[in-house]
Amino acid sequence: MPSWATLLLTLLAASLSATQAAPTRRDSQLSLAETIKALRDAPMAINRANILDYPGGYQFDFLNAKNSGLGKDGPFILADNGNFHAVIGNGMSMFMAFIGPCGMVPSHTHPRATELELIVAGGPMLTGIMTEAGGPYTVGYGNVTFFPLGSIHFQQNLGCDPAVLVAILNSENPGFSVISNTYFGLGNETVAASLGQAEETIPMAINLGQESCLQRCGIDRDTYDISAWSKLDFIRAAYKTVVDQH
Ligand SMILES: *[C@@H]1O[C@H](CO)[C@@H](O)[C@H](O)[C@H]1NC(C)=O
Ligand SMILES: *[C@@H]1O[C@H](CO)[C@@H](O)[C@H](O)[C@H]1NC(C)=O
């Protein structure tokens, strides 16, 4: 005959193991959808913390992360709900770009986020916003610029050296939609009907930008390709320019 105390302990142990049975990313191989659901359903912060209690749960390594895009003139990485689960339910994400000489992030939009962007080193950076009175204007290192929700914008490094930039976006899933790719992705017949011709190769990531910059910096569009550079190579070269100027 179990005593009341034993019964209570058994019940307590059962309820504890029910709590511990809550899914965690560390213990089980949760899919992305299951991770998002578990974090959204977590009743308290401690439950979220348990789910995120695995190496990298609260830490995103931009230097070693898989690139979100890589062009001839550098990589960019977006840390969002897909690869950085701590942001799930918190409405934020972060973007980092390593932009080679004269490199350009082609005109794009984040359909679900406003962006605050810091030029960390290098530049100056020509940016423009395709909305009301949106430039283009140039920003230098140490300066922050702003792109409103859904606006079409671009970043063109006007420097003959690399630039590094970091941005915060107010959505955990901001989206990155390159205008030319999206538009031409409508299909050649639709595009041909609208424009009269269709393009085959459209840059998706950071590619060599404006012709005037390439000429000024002596860069040959056909042969120049620094896509094999490490991210540290970009940081070193971009900081060298800042240090050399001071
Ligand atoms: C940053 O912005 C300030 C104020 O607009 C400007 O004076 C400064 O030159 C900018 N920095 C760079 C490196 O361009
Ligand atoms: C669209 O592409 C298809 C397949 O490449 C081709 O057969 C067709 O002629 C193209 N249409 C137009 C309008 O360019």
Q: Which amino acid residue places its CA nearest to atom 14 of ligand 1?
A: 140
**Per-residue pLDDT tens for 29-79?**
778 888 888 998 999 999 999 989 888 789 999 999 999 999 999 999 999
Element containing residue 19 per DSSP (H, E): helix 4-20
CA of 148 to the centre of ligand 1 (A): 21
CA of 124 to the centre of ligand 1 (A): 9
134 pLDDT above the threshold of 90? no
- Mean pLDDT lowest for which of 21-25, 43-47, 50-54, 140-144? 21-25
183 pLDDT above the threshold of 90? no
Assess whether the C-beta atom of 232 lies below 6 angstroms from ligand 2.
no
CA of 246 to the centre of ligand 1 (A): 14
Domains in the chain, ordered, with CATH?
8-51 (no CATH), 69-244 (2.60.120.10)
What residues are paired with 99 via a beta bridge?
163
Q: Which amino acid residue places its CA nearest to atom 11 of ligand 2?
A: 189
Question: Burial, 154: exposed, middle or buried (Cβ in 10 Å; 0-12, 13-18, 19+)?
Answer: buried
Rounded Cα distance between 72 and 228, Å, is 8
Percent of the chain with pLDDT over 70: 82
Q: Which of 29, 156, 19 is nearest to 99 (CA)?
A: 156
Q: Tell me, what's the pLDDT at 53?
A: 87
Q: Give the three-state DSSP class for 160.
A: coil
Ligand 1 atom showing the smallest separation from residue 139 Cα: 14
Instruction: Provide the whole-model pTM.
Output: 0.78
Ligand 1 atom showing the smallest separation from residue 141 Cα: 13
Length of the chain: 246
User: What is the number of the ligand closest to the CA of 193?
Assistant: 2
Assess whether the C-beta atom of 144 lies below 6 angstroms from ligand 1.
no
Q: Which of 117, 114, 118, 45 is nearest to 86 (CA)?
A: 45
Handedness of CA 227, 231, 233, 235 (dihedral sign): positive
- Mean pLDDT lowest for which of 20-24, 37-41, 154-158? 20-24
Give the model's confidence band at 16: pLDDT under 50 very low, under 70 low, under 90 confident, else very high: very low
- Stretch 161-173: mean pLDDT, rounded? 97
